[in-house]
Amino acid sequence: MPSKKHDIKNSEEKVQTSAMRHPALYVLSIIILVVVVVAFVAGPILGRSAGGAQGELVFGTYKGKDIEYAAGTYFARAYENQLQQVQQQVNEEGGDLGIQQIYTAFRNAYDSTIFRYGILDKAQKANVLVSATEVTRTLASSPRFQDEDGNFSAQLLQEALSQQPNLKEEVRKDLIFDQAQQDILMDSQLTENEIEFISQMGRERRIFDIVSYSFSEYPDSQAAVFLEENPELFRSVELSSITVGSQADAEEILERLNSSDGVFEEIAQANSSDVYAAEGGSRGVVWYYDIRRDFEDEDAADILFDLEEGQISEIFKLRNDRFAVYRADGPVREAEAGDQNALEQVKGYVLSLERGQVSDYFRTEAEAFIERSAEIGWASAVAEAGVEPVTTSPVAINYGDIPLYPTLQSASSGILTGASSRESLFTEIFSLEQNELSSAIELRDKIVVMRFVEPVTADSQQDSFMDLYIPYLAQDYLVAELQREFKDPANLEDNFDRVFQQTFLGNQN
């Protein structure tokens, strides 16, 4: 990692120039700047201590290193800066500084400190060094240590060092942090070809009509066919159960149930560990396809459904390593094709366990629509099929939902939710000729057919703005990725909320 000097003043001048030319870009750049480069200048001492003689507080650890709030630390300086911002906002709104505002200031400062720890850790691994001469030069140029004539004052520096012995070390870390951060961000800069590629993604947009076949609309007629082919799955019976943790406990329960004084409901309420205990073990109507998943033994459900009304079962071992005894509270009922409740059970079953059945049905419907549209035209096919197309807003090639361009989800009123990572979808729909239809495209919970209506060219001014914003977006993504890395539980032990509550709310739990 080569050494580079971070020139804050020049950066500020460049940002001010951009502000005059591109106001929107300026706002975005400031947001990113706040996240990436935090220039904290004051050195507060916490007014309230929760242990240390000078208010030292440890809010967590980063790779075993304490994240400590104490006078002169970066954490303290960050908090002072955040608190000033919060106080200014409260004053402007005419309110009072409360515990929520203090929490926000502390939390933001804590997060900034974690980011600093992470960058410094990377700098140490890369052997980034700052000389003692550079530390001295930085201190000497600070307005804090200059007299009224603007000359360096050794006396002011010595007074500061006597009050803050770690001042030079903190300045050294500041310089390493700035240097390492700048190097990392420089490494993330995009080439002109990369910027052009990303810009091109949103330059040519398309409007589509979409016909959607939602899996939730699987018809009763198809459910009835599946029921006729698989009637044994949708038998039902009223059951009660008692669930315990061991074979021995189950044997004791079964012995009591088979004795003359064994009352099932009372034993269930007193001993069962399942959710039906409060109802005396009553589970109501149970469907064969559903309860068979509870057992390790594939034949258990068949044995259960062979019980006579009022009969107590043998002991069954469940998949969760518990044991259950059942009672049949009614006769087994066979499902009938006209039973709406049974049809709803069938649809729930096929949607969760036989999803291919649903997909195949709607794919056939979609392909028939495509074929019919080719014969009689889009509008006539839509009317004949009784479907209602949705027309999108202009769609960009926004793979991965980057915030530069409209997402597939927003452009399609939610129909294409979850499709932004489907490279094959973008390839197909942006290869269509005008008025051409796509194939039947399967998404998570539907089949769609898309028709390319017309192209739309992005506004040239907006296009120019995107070219300027893309490099900032790349840095923003990098910072977000670094933050996720630094806050990974493998790196960070986060005790912030507990320590804050103990310190400010007196909560010792």
Mean pLDDT of 277-295: 95
DSSP class of residue 59 equals E
Kind and range of the H or E run holding 196 = helix 192-203
pLDDT for 151 beyond 90 = no
Q: Are residues 26 and 119 located together in one domain of the fold?
A: yes
Residue 224 lies in a domain: no
pLDDT digit string, tens, across residues 78-100: 999 999 998 898 888 888 888 88
Asked if 346 contacts 234 with a C-beta cutoff of 8 angstroms, the reply is yes
Same domain, 445 and 400: yes
Structural domain boundaries, residue 376: 200-217+355-458
Helix (H, G, I), strand (E, B) or coil at 165: coil
Determine, yes or no, domain membership for 122: yes
Q: How far apart are CA 397 and CA 399, in angstroms?
A: 6
Q: How many residues does the chain have?
A: 509
Q: Are 165 and 73 in contact (CB under 8 A)?
A: no
**pTM above 0.85?**
no
Least-confidence region, from 192-201, 233-242, 288-297, 390-399? 192-201
Whether 229 is in a domain gets the answer no
Classify residue 125: in a domain, yes or no.
yes
Whether residue 436 is found in the same domain as residue 480:
no
Q: Is residue 194 part of a domain?
A: no
CATH number of the domain to which 292 belongs: 3.10.50.40
Average pLDDT, the chain: 84
Q: In 3-state terms, what secondary structure has residue 298?
A: coil
Q: Is residue 71 part of a domain?
A: yes
Q: pLDDT by residue (tens digit) across 413-425?
A: 999 998 998 999 9
| Residue 205 belongs to a domain | yes
| 76 and 179 part of one domain | yes
Structural domains of the chain, count: 3
Whether 38 and 100 share a structural domain:
yes
First CA to last CA distance, the chain: 45
